[in-house]
Amino acid sequence: MIILLLLAGWATHHTMTVLATDPATRSRATFVFSGLFAIFVIQTLLYHLERAPRMTPRIARRLNGLHAAVLVPAYNEDPGYLKLGLQAFLAQTRLPDSVHIVDDGSTSTDYAEVRTWWERAAAEKGVATTWQRVPNGGKRSAQAHGVRVSPDADIYVTCDSDSCFAPTALENLLTPFSRARVQSVAGVVVATNNRANWFVRIMDLWFTVCQLVDRSGQSAVGAVMVNSGAIAAYRAGVIRDNLDGYLNETFMGRGVGFSDDSMLTLFAQERGLTVQQPRAICFTAMPEKWSHFNRMYLRWMRGSTIRSIWRMRYLSARRPAFWLHIVRWVQMILTQAITAWLLIAEPIVNREPPPVTMLIIPLLIGWAQGLRYLSVIRSDERIRSRILTWLAMPVAIAIAWTVLRWHRWYGALTCLKTGWGTRQNGAEVSLETSATPDPTTPKLYDPLDDSTLKIRQYRSMSSTS
């Protein structure tokens, strides 16, 4: 944190020194830079205040009586990834009380072999389960089918069909519910296929750091804006009491089927605290091609735009989440304006190229924040490999500042396109082909091998960088 603050202070001082040579320019920029610096300092302080609660005997006694039901919607998922995820539920240090799989009318497979194996394995572990195949109605509809057959649940755990929970994930995910005001808990998502190619590595780095910086800061004040669909938990009433609105959301006369995670988080925000548990780690299949990621990210941005409008309309100004939402928009607009001014307006209008140091500072800050990526320890990857990924932070920043920023605004302008956009023609990432095997390392996973999770053990520790 000290490194980050020193870098930010240096950047601000340098900017003001450069601008002091031109009073007109100084008057235009002083307020913007001061505002961005203040926002940055607050965010830095907040995400270092996040505390990861630990399970204690006292908390365990309070939580053991809760019925934790896992909802697993599946649509055209790769059977290998689905089986890997189901295996992970049976390897938890705190087993789920029930798991409800809903095949949402898949067209590429019927999962017959996986279903036969699962029903036998779940029975042996004493985990209640249901498996339904229903006409395609979307992820929300599939989740609702699971809710209806689990009326005794106290906590609903949502995940994706390619989610693979670390062995302590469920135990850690439930721990924050020892506080009565907590209504939802987000876990941290990392890539299962992080070594498939460099594109996946960089996206894994970017996504992990976003969770451990932006979301950690929100969690410190109990105002997580969006939970990850791959791993999250909600008090049952958050979902049951809002099921009709969840299934029938419309925006300007169009049905909305995506942005389900942010909708559930908004329901939880209206009732109490929404937090993150950085010790609850989930592995998921990241897109391995730009075209797949592009469609997924545009869906996120379109959903984010709709959800922003709902927060302004429905979220009470007494909630910290309301003001964090406002600050995020202010920061995004100011950052966009100052970037365009430095990189476009100044070179064209005033014939002044941006100072080189002003391009270097964001990279240094990104590297400092990226240290939190290294706080997620993986036993299937050597530390030198993770450091190599961390060194690619400038590439992640360049993509975020250019392509993803453009996608942010394009998604806002096209938010009426409410189609899902992915997996219409089957799974786009396969477990068997998601990574090129390294002959110098042990085989990491095999969807047909019941010992998979004995080989692939994960652990995490809270960030201290």
341-372 per-position pLDDT tens digit: 777 777 777 777 766 666 677 777 888 888 89
C-alpha 206/C-alpha 370 separation (Å) is 8
Better-predicted residue by pLDDT, 400 or 212 = 212
Query: Given this model, what pLDDT does residue 16 score?
Result: 55
Query: Given this model, what pLDDT does residue 359 score?
Result: 67
Phi, psi torsion values for 376, nearest 5 degrees: -90, 110
Q: What is the pLDDT of residues 141-156, one digit of tens each?
A: 999 999 999 999 999 9
* Per-residue tokens: 348: 């064209």
User: 15 with 342: CB under 8 angstroms?
Assistant: no
Query: Given this model, what pLDDT does residue 464 score?
Result: 33
CA angle 165, 246, 154 (to 5 degrees): 50
Better-predicted residue by pLDDT, 459 or 370 = 370
pLDDT category at 337 given cuts 50, 70, 90 is confident
Query: Given this model, what pLDDT does residue 203 score?
Result: 93
Q: What is the pLDDT of residues 3-37, one digit of tens each?
A: 555 655 655 555 555 555 455 544 455 556 666 67
Q: What is the pLDDT of residues 381-436, one digit of tens each?
A: 889 999 999 999 999 988 888 888 888 888 888 888 866 655 555 555 666 534 33
User: What amino acid is encoded at 436 in this protein?
Assistant: T
Is the predicted pLDDT of residue 49 greater than 70, yes or no? yes
Query: Given this model, what pLDDT does residue 449 score?
Result: 37
Query: Given this model, what pLDDT does residue 329 score?
Result: 83
Query: Given this model, what pLDDT does residue 444 score?
Result: 35
How many C-beta neighbours within 10 Å does residue 424 have?
13
Alpha-carbon distance values, 226 to 165, 187, 218, 296, 366 (Å): 19, 11, 10, 16, 22
Domain CATH for 275:
3.90.550.10
- Any idea which of 25-34, 104-113, 167-176, 417-426 has the lowest mean pLDDT? 25-34
- Any idea which of 171-175, 252-256, 279-283, 348-352 has the lowest mean pLDDT? 348-352
Is the predicted pLDDT of residue 187 greater than 90, yes or no? yes
Is the predicted pLDDT of residue 64 greater than 90, yes or no? no
Query: Given this model, what pLDDT does residue 326 score?
Result: 85
Q: Which residues of 134-224 form beta strands (DSSP E)?
A: 155-159, 164-165, 182-191
- The answer to whether residue 435 is domain-embedded is no
C-alpha 232/C-alpha 188 separation (Å) is 9
User: 234 with 158: CB under 8 angstroms?
Assistant: yes
Most confident of the ranges 80-84, 194-198, 249-253 = 80-84
Number of domains, the chain = 1
Range of the domain at 291: 1-419+442-456
Summarize the confidence of residues 33-62 as an average pLDDT.
79
User: 153 with 68: CB under 8 angstroms?
Assistant: yes
Phi, psi torsion values for 24, nearest 5 degrees: -65, -45
Query: What is the share, in percent, of the chain residues with pLDDT greater than 70?
Result: 80
Query: What is the share, in percent, of the chain residues with pLDDT greater than 90?
Result: 44
DSSP H helix total and E strand total for the chain:
20, 10
Mean pLDDT of the chain: 82
- The answer to whether residue 427 is domain-embedded is no
Is the predicted pLDDT of residue 120 greater than 90, yes or no? yes
C-alpha 150/C-alpha 157 separation (Å) is 12
- The answer to whether residue 31 is domain-embedded is yes
pLDDT category at 437 given cuts 50, 70, 90 is very low
Is the predicted pLDDT of residue 451 greater than 50, yes or no? no
- The answer to whether residue 432 is domain-embedded is no
CA nearest neighbour of 22 among 339, 338, 356, 346: 346
C-alpha 236/C-alpha 199 separation (Å) is 37
Is the predicted pLDDT of residue 1 greater than 60, yes or no? no
User: 175 with 98: CB under 8 angstroms?
Assistant: no
- The answer to whether residue 430 is domain-embedded is no
- The answer to whether residue 47 is domain-embedded is yes
User: 41 with 1: CB under 8 angstroms?
Assistant: no
User: 122 with 129: CB under 8 angstroms?
Assistant: yes
Is the predicted pLDDT of residue 128 greater than 60, yes or no? yes
pLDDT category at 271 given cuts 50, 70, 90 is very high
- The answer to whether residue 112 is domain-embedded is yes
Q: What is the pLDDT of residues 405-420, one digit of tens each?
A: 888 888 888 888 866 6
C-alpha 258/C-alpha 464 separation (Å) is 34
Query: Given this model, what pLDDT does residue 53 score?
Result: 82
Is the predicted pLDDT of residue 373 greater than 90, yes or no? yes
- The answer to whether residue 426 is domain-embedded is no
